[in-house]
Structures are given as C-alpha cells and as structure tokens.
Amino acid sequence: MTDEAMSPLRRRMIEDMTIRKLAPKTQQGYIRTVKNLAAFLGRSPDTASFEDVRRFQLHLAANGADTPTRNHTVSALRFFFRVTLKRYAIVEHTHFIHELRKLPVVLSPEEVARLLDAAPGLKYRAALSVAYGAGLRAAEVVSLKVSDIDSKRMLIRVEQGKGRKDRNVMLSPHLLDLLRAWWRAARPQGWLFPGRDPVQPMTTRQLNRACHAAAHLAEINKRVSLHTLRHSFATHLLEQHTDIRVIQVLLGHAKLDNTALYTRVATKMISEVMSKARRACRARLWRSRVSSATTDRRGVKPTLAM
C-alpha cells in the first residue's frame, strides 16, 4: 500500500512498531490482525469497545483458530490499543491462552534417512538436510545465503533468527559435501536456496510442501513437518549424551525449559535409564538374598572355622 492510500491510523501504528524495532514479519502480522478486526466490525478499529474485542475473539474461537493464532491476535491487539491508541482498559481484558505443551513428533535416524532420500530433487534434499543437520527453523533455512556457509570453521551462520539473534550452528562434513554438490549443480549466487525467481529465496511454504511430499514417499506414518526435523536433531543429540546447554545454544532457545522438553522424547535415553534402574534393582535383590543366606534363623552370622 502506498503512503497516499495509507490511513493516518495505520501509518501511526507502523511508526510505533518501527520505533520499537519490531521485526518486519511481526509488523505485517500485527497490521493484518487489526485489518481483520476492522473487517469484522465494519468500521474503523479505533472505535472498538471492550465488548467488540471480546466478540472478535469469540469469532476466532468459533471459526477454529488454533492457539498460536489466537495468542498472536492478543499480542497484536495489545500493541494496537496500548501503544498506538493508549486505551489501556481494553488491554487489561485481553488474555493469552495457556495450554499444556504437547510432546513433539520425532523421527528415528532411519526415518530421517528415508525422508531425505525421498526429497524431490537435489535442492530440496540439501535444504531438508540443513534443517535436520543443523537444527534450523524453516524461516532460517530459506534465509541462508551462500556466504553463510563457513567451510573453514565448519559452521553455518544464522542471521536474525527467532528473537532477531545471530548464532553459529554446526556444519558436518557430510552436510558440507551435499551443499557443495548443490552449489556445483546450480551455482546459486546470493540465496543458498533461491526460489523460482532467483532474486528471491525459496519460500517456507515451498520447503514445507517438499518435506510433506518426501515424508509421503518415504511412507512415514507420522505427522511430519519441517519442524519435525529440528525436533529430531535435538532429540538425537540428547541421545548421544550432548550437553543440554550446548543443544540450547545450537537451537537458539532463549530458555533452557524449551530445550528440556526433548528429554521427554529421547527414547534411547529413557531406555538406558530404565535398563540402569533394572540392573540396580537386580543388584539390590541379589545383595538381599546373599545377606539372607549368610544369616542363620536367630539373626546371627556364622563365623568361619579356622
């Protein structure tokens, strides 16, 4: 939308978001939410009452909006009413939804190998391999540039990941070989994984579709998404006894609690713990039996004859 066609209210909200350095995607999402509120009301959103906002949230729930969508709506409305309009009373009556965190779907190493082998072409195989081999989010994979691959230090630089933070992640020799094969085949110049228009990167939708197609061809009967590869990366590292704080850094998690979730799905670790528990239980039982065998009925241990 041009400046001429933009309403003063929208321009003010964009300025407020720009001053606070909100990410471009966050700004787009907030503007879209306020537009949806205006469409629902049939009038300017700055005239909304608390009851109007409540009806809008009920409308989202009735139409099957998921929890992340509804929580994003609350974030957008809070910013709009608190920062742009200074209408704090409405903000006080908007609430986030808190749900119990579900365990992530995780693939076995064999399933990951089958999925990558079934990827539709070298470009998507390389992109999906980066998602698993470096534990990246979809947006981070498609945002990679050729210059982000540091073969000397065996690192991949992730710029402006979630939370607008830069970080370095691991680059295995196998993944480097695959990326080199992709580079020799396509010679990408800017974006590592360009889209149909080489000036633009591959979209996250294209990458997710490729992931779904590969999972279908590999006959993996799980609900697989691109994020499943990231979950699998973290879980497999845990099962190899990698320090959880190292995994936190590699994933770019701000809180260790987010990383700790993977300890609940690391089945190899759970099996090892159960195995150790069984061995300890058997050892205690054996010691108990030995102790009973060496004690007479009166509770006196016999002495050895000299």
- The residue from 72, 125, 230, 231 that is catalytic is 230
Per DSSP, helices labelled H in 63-163 are 67-79, 88-92, 109-117, 122-134, 138-142
Query: 253 an active-site residue?
Result: yes
CB atoms within 10 A of CB 273: 11
Query: 137 an active-site residue?
Result: yes
Query: 164 an active-site residue?
Result: no
Per DSSP, helices labelled H in the chain are 8-19, 24-41, 50-62, 67-79, 88-92, 109-117, 122-134, 138-142, 173-186, 204-217, 226-239, 244-251, 256-260, 267-293
Who's near 219: CB < 8 A, 6+ residues apart?
A: 114
- The residue from 54, 157, 209, 253 that is catalytic is 253
- The residue from 78, 162, 167, 268 that is catalytic is 162
- The residue from 72, 123, 125, 137 that is catalytic is 137
C-beta separation of 69 from 60 below 8 A: yes
What tokens appear for 272 in the block? 């090892």
C-beta separation of 27 from 14 below 8 A: yes
| CA-to-CA dists, residue 235 to 133, 209, 276, angstroms | 12, 23, 20
C-beta separation of 176 from 107 below 8 A: no
Q: Could you give phi then psi for residue 303, rounded to 5 degrees?
A: -95, 150
- The residue from 30, 124, 132, 262 that is catalytic is 262
Query: 212 an active-site residue?
Result: no
N-terminal to C-terminal alpha carbon distance within the chain: 103
**Which residues are the active-site residues?**
137, 162, 227, 230, 253, 262
